Chains A and B, each alone.
Chain A
Amino acid sequence: MATVALNTKDRIANRIAKELKDGDLVNLGIGLPTKVGNFLPEGVEVMLQSENGYIGIGPVTEVDPDLVNAGGQPAGMVTGAAMFDSFMSFNLIRGGHVDATVLGALQVDQNGNLANWMVPGKMVPGMGGAMDLVVGAKKVIIGMEHAAKDGSPKILKQCNLPLTGKQVVDMIVTELAVFTCTDKGLVLEEISEDTDLQTVREKTEADYIVSKNLKKF
């Protein structure tokens, strides 16, 4: 399997890409989420939306000072791209016209709460468009490494950092596991091929149910 050669972040991106459907309008966050576009299954074409005002992000063919992505970096556009203002951009986001958004996280909890915009006293970059994305996108997928750099869990019983959104997360994908957020709480749907249930349990603080149809990815 080609997946064996993938590094941690690529593995996460590769798994998330399988959630996207042909024709979806998708917003990818900065960092790991951006990689999802590299792993789309064959026959799946999505349009990518950029908060600063366009649909149809593509590879950079030449740098145009008037064309940047939501991180302010030079961007490209695909044939059929559409440009608009911030009002339209957030009507699309908040109004449920974006099929899926993929975002990173500092913490996620078993109630589907998400914290990814600030660490009091340390990092206060601002929420940008994240708070709108999590309330508006039809599906909110969190792509992140299972634990923090110091090994502490990021999937918690309750977030203790300021929230980006309350009960907004639909799915969490890490290098070890795939969880869905349901009315009954977190459900462990899949574990990666090279891990086991005990390892996932040890590295996850949150309570969760193990799916009866647990799969490997």
Chain B
Amino acid sequence: MEKVISMEELPQYYSDGMSVMVGGFMGVGQPIEIVKNMVEKQVKDLTLICNDTAVPDLGVGTLVVNKQLKKAIVSHIGTNPETGKQMIAEELDVELVPQGSLAERIRAGGAGLGGVLTPTGVGTVVEEGKVKMNVEGKEYILETPLRADVALLKAHKADKAGNLVYRLTGRNFNPMMALAADMVIAEVEELVEVGELEPDEIMTPGVLVDKIVVCGKGE
């Protein structure tokens, strides 16, 4: 199956109202070029699942500024004042999730689990409305799984089968998101032939990746 597509072919996988997981931490390890394309195509009413909303002029931060989001499920919005502004004006629904719980919820979504029991957030507003359980004398919150229609990943290298290699802190949420969406698209800096990556160096197996867009190093 041919997985490599051009940026021009990408919009067929967008739809208004879709849920989308985007890899990256403060824009690092984020598919910046694909996000630019989504801004250009004005895809709207998105539910974004991402670690943070970056800064106003970078990556997913631009989706906020361009008012393309209906909801954001993130752990941090402090570096993008526009997110807070839209949240207070009730234009954007923001669900703040502790970072480790966000990672676990995405993992659960991709791993066939019904959720995860975590002590994170016990005794805080995070536990409101959630099932709590006492296991062996310790209290836990049930955090439910997260999945999305589309996951947008960023990798340093890919082969044509979709096997991915990330670089330094660019890895972050990408490996978990590769398992947790119906359509997984990776923006990659470099594409190599199948067989050129050492099997031991592959961080995300290619079977999880549906499409690859080669963008170089970006700007």
Contacts and interface: CB of A to CB of B under 8 A. Distances in A.
A72 B123 contact: no
A94 B169 contact: no
B122 A166 contact: yes
A132 B120 contact: yes
Interface string B50-82: 011001000000000000000000111111000
Nearest to A166: B123
Contacts of A90: 99-100, 103-104
A2 interface: no
A125 B126 contact: no
Interface stretch (B7-15, B36-44, B173-181, B208-216): B173-181
B123 A87 contact: no
Interface string B27-46: 11100000000000000000
B72 to A, nearest CB: 10
B126 A131 contact: yes
Interface residues of A, number: 41
A204 to B, nearest CB: 23
A87 B107 contact: yes
A85 B175 contact: yes
Given A66-B156, A72-B28, A131-B121, A53 B74 contact: no
Interface residues of B, number: 47
A124 B94 CA distance: 11
B171 interface: yes
Contacts of B99: 51, 86, 90, 127-129, 132
B173 A85 contact: yes
A67 interface: yes
Given A52-B172, A129-B100, A72 B122 contact: no
Contacts of A64: 168
B26 interface: yes
Interface string A111-137: 001000000000111111111100110
Given A90-B104, A126-B77, A132 B98 contact: yes
Nearest to B156: A66
A50 interface: yes
A65 to B, nearest CB: 7
Interface in A18-74: 50-54, 64-68, 71-72
Contacts of A147: none
A165 interface: yes
Contacts of B52: 126, 128
B84 interface: yes
Contacts of B98: 127-132
Interface string A77-88: 000000111110
Contacts of B101: 131-132
Contacts of B168: 54, 64, 66-67, 83
A55 to B, nearest CB: 12
Given A83-B168, A85-B175, A128 B124 contact: no
Interface in B144-186: 156, 166-176
A124 B176 CA distance: 27
A164 interface: yes
A128 B26 CA distance: 12
A-B complex: 5 closest residue pairs judged by Cβ atoms: A125-B78, A166-B123, A72-B26, A90-B100, A132-B100
Given A66-B28, A129-B98, 19 more contacts: A52-B25, A52-B169, A53-B169, A53-B171, A65-B28, A66-B170, A67-B169, A71-B26, A85-B166, A86-B100, A86-B173, A87-B175, A93-B100, A123-B78, A124-B77, A131-B98, A131-B120, A135-B119, A136-B100
9 contacts: A53-B169, A67-B169, A86-B100, A87-B175, A125-B77, A126-B96, A127-B98, A135-B120, A166-B124
Interface of A: 50-54, 64-68, 71-72, 75, 83-87, 89-90, 93-94, 113, 123-132, 135-136, 162-167
